[in-house]
Homo-oligomer: A and B are copies of this chain.
């Protein structure tokens, strides 16, 4: 298993999210920025998702962490290509890191590029990386108050995934409260409740994902607004 590693480096100029998107569009790749707090299950979701998409849908993954290649090691056996981006203290991925990582990928035949961002509900929300879509995760043990407390993250989501729903029975988690908070800030994104562990809700997520491929039934959308 070959794991490319990109480390945060000072660059002459910041690469542009729009240029990243143009390169991905030219290769027919749909890029999905996957965002959440630390430990919401981003890597576990990709571990379940990628094999379930089937062998005709090839995926690549860029995975961001301050340190370690642990997530790339987990995902490496499952995907065509994986690149670990170590931000070395940085609180979000940047368009330059994505540009550098894309340059090291062979995009030929790749349908989806998943970009697993640094676990952080604040900073990654305001950086457009050049992705086409955003999937935002909230895990049930984080609590039902997080949509109201971190609205920018949920406002920019194209799909909102409530993860670890298998734990609801042992938590004080009020699903209605989350829906009510979301109804005030984002009613366009589908709300999908799932468990990567039990498989509950995975069909709905996979269906949404398949519809986002070129020629799928997913709606075209504008790129997210960057606030640099």
Binding site for B on A (CB under 8 A): 37-39, 65-68, 70, 89-91, 118-123, 126, 139, 141-143, 145-146, 148-152, 164, 167, 170
Which one of B39, B70, B122 contacts A66 once the chains associate, using CB atoms below 8 Å? B122
- CB of A148 within 8 A of CB of B67, answer yes
A64 to chain B, nearest CB (A): 10
Please determine whether B167 and A67 come into contact, CB atoms closer than 8 angstroms.
no
Considering residues A39, A67, A139, A148, which has the most beta carbons from chain B within 10 angstroms of its beta carbon? A39
Chain B residues within 8 Å of A150, by CB: 38, 66-67, 119
Q: Which B residue's beta carbon lies closest to that of A44? A: B143
Q: How far is the CA of A68 from the CA of B146 in the complex (A)?
A: 10
Number of copies: 2
Closest to A86 in B: B149
From A38, A68, A139, A152, name the one whose CB has the most chain B CB atoms within 10 angstroms: A38
A91 touching B91 in the complex, CB below 8 Å, given contacts A68-B148, A142-B38: yes
Whether B142 contacts A120 by the Cβ 8 Å rule is no
| Cβ–Cβ < 8 Å partners of A146 in chain B | 38-39
The CA of A152 and the CA of B90, in the complex, are separated in Å by 11
Is B67 a contact of A149 with CB atoms below 8 Å? yes
Provide the bound-state CA to CA distance between A38 and B118, in Å. 14
